[in-house]
């Protein structure tokens, strides 16, 4: 009985073929030069063996040969570099309309939050033929989010936000692994990415929604008293958060940063590092007071702020499907 062991993982994403073609090109070059060098070694060993070797004559080298064995490998290396760079930049530039899901790595499980409110552990449900951006962080140590069928791999780092994106091209269930050793039960930190038809996915989300991620974030925003300082009137003691995400922020030291997920998180837990111009450092730190799941909800809520009432806290529209202020806007439905 033959074992059913595939040579390569199944190809199930828009990027998997690009990665495979680059990999096959590298393997072909490796095999070609391995065979070429081995054949030349055997040929010269036979041709110039001691018993019948002719008397050697002095040679002064060949400029053509030296140029050839320098230029040809250099050209092949540059081709692989440029090809790999194109694939790398494609992997690291998610489409503007990508659907967003938030994930947390924890010893030893994966936790995911959908913006509609559904939560899941060690499973990630996504629709087929839809760009999906997964914003990731770790609650403890460095993990690594890897889906071989998608040729996808990304570090998950505590205290920082990283992201990966993919577009699944076939429905089915695909294995999710942690590819970074993270402790004694590292090998058990596995899960499944379940790719569904769009209609089935919408039904699945609707039956598991427990209040949208924005509503969860708004509740945390109010519990922490953020709405008492981040106002639009003269009583404001903190910067206006409406339309913050994706835009440049001028700091007190004269520098400028882009307000992404990492900046928002850092401003909550380590606020003294980047103080906004025109404001003093009066905000208390919330380091250790918010777990990573709640922090993701809070960050999402701040991303979605787009309107506010005069003299009141910033608000969001409950039916909004975009993150205003994003550059360009990010679709979330």
The answer to whether residue 195 is domain-embedded is: yes
Determine contact, residues 135/103, Cβ cutoff 8 Å: yes
Shared-domain flag, residues 217 and 202? no
Q: Does 67 reside within a domain?
A: no
How many C-beta atoms lie closer than 10 Å to residue 55's C-beta? 4
Question: Rounded to an integer, what distance in angstroms lies between the CA atom of residue 4 and that of residue 257?
Answer: 52
Domain holding 129: CATH number? 2.60.40.420
Domain end: 175, 208, 241, which one?
A: 208
pTM above 0.85, yes or no: no
d(CA 300, CA 261): 8
Rounded CA gap, 13 and 173, in Å?
A: 12
What the block records as the tokens of 176 is: 């999710």
Q: What is the pLDDT along the chain (333 residues), one digit of tens a residue?
A: 455 667 788 899 999 999 999 999 999 999 999 999 999 999 988 877 766 666 667 777 788 888 998 999 999 999 999 999 999 999 888 898 899 999 999 999 999 999 888 889 999 999 999 999 999 999 899 999 999 999 999 999 998 889 999 999 999 999 999 999 999 999 999 999 999 999 999 999 888 877 788 888 888 888 888 877 887 666 677 787 888 888 888 888 888 888 888 888 888 887 777 788 877 777 777 777 788 888 888 888 888 886 444 334 444 443 343 433 333 333 333
Residue 42: exposure state from Cβ atoms within 10 A (0-12, 13-18, ≥19): exposed
Number of domains making up the chain: 2
Q: Which of 152, 179, 208 is the last residue of a domain?
A: 208
Structural domain contains residue 188:
yes
Residue with tokens 């791999």: 153
Q: Is residue 93 part of a domain?
A: no
| Domain co-membership, 125 together with 221 | no
Q: Give me the domain span that covers residue 112.
A: 99-208
Residue 79, both tokens = 């081709």
Residues 292 and 315 grouped into a single domain: yes
User: Rounded to an integer, what is the distance from CA 313 to the centroid of its chain?
Assistant: 32
Can you read off the two tokens belonging to residue 7? 């040579």
**Residues 220 and 203 placed together within one structural domain of the fold:** no
Q: 33 vs 72, 227, 268, 313, CA distance in Å?
A: 12, 65, 55, 67
For residue 328, say if its preceding peptide bond is cis, omega within 30 degrees of 0. Answer: yes
Question: Which residues, 6+ apart, have CB-to-CB distance to 27 below 8 Å?
Answer: none
Domain endpoint, select from 157, 189, 208: 208
| One domain for residues 217 and 323 | yes
Stated as kind and residue range, the H or E segment containing 79 is helix 63-91
Which residue's entry shows tokens 């559904």? Answer: 118
C-alpha to C-alpha distance for 87 and 110, rounded to whole angstroms? 26
């Amino acid at each position: 009985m033959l074992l059913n062991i595939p040579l390569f993982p199944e190809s199930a994403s828009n990027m998997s073929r690009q990665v495979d073609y680059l990999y096959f090109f590298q393997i072909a070059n490796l095999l070609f030069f391995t065979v070429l060098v081995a054949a030349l070694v055997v040929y010269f060993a036979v041709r110039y063996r001691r018993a019948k070797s002719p008397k050697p004559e002095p040679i002064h080298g060949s400029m053509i040969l030296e140029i050839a064995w320098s230029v040809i490998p250099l050209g092949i290396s540059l081709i692989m570099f440029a090809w790999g760079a194109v694939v790398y930049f494609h992997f690291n530039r998610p489409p503007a309309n990508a659907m967003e899901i938030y994930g947390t790595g924890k010893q030893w499980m994966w936790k995911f939050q959908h913006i509609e409110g559904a939560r899941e552990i060690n499973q990630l449900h996504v629709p087929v033929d839809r760009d999906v951006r997964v914003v990731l962080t770790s609650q403890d140590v460095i993990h690594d989010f890897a889906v071989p069928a998608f040729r996808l791999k990304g570090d998950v780092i505590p205290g920082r936000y990283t992201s990966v994106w993919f577009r699944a091209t076939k429905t089915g269930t695909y294995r999710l692994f942690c590819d970074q050793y993270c402790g004694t039960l590292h090998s058990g930190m596995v899960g499944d990415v379940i790719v569904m038809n769009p209609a089935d996915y919408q039904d699945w989300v609707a039956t598991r929604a427990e209040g949208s991620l924005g509503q969860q974030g708004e509740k945390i925003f109010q519990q922490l008293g953020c709405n008492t300082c981040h106002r639009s009137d003269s009583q404001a003691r903190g910067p206006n958060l409406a339309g913050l995400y994706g835009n440049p922020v001028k700091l007190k030291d004269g520098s400028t940063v882009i307000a992404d997920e990492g900046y928002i998180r850092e401003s909550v837990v380590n606020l003294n590092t980047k103080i906004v111009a025109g404001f003093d450092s009066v905000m208390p730190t919330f380091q250790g007071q918010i777990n990573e799941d709640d922090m993701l909800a809070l960050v999402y809520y701040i991303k979605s702020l787009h309107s506010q009432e005069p003299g009141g806290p910033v608000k969001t529209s409950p039916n909004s499907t975009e993150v205003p202020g994003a550059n360009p806007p990010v679709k979330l439905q």
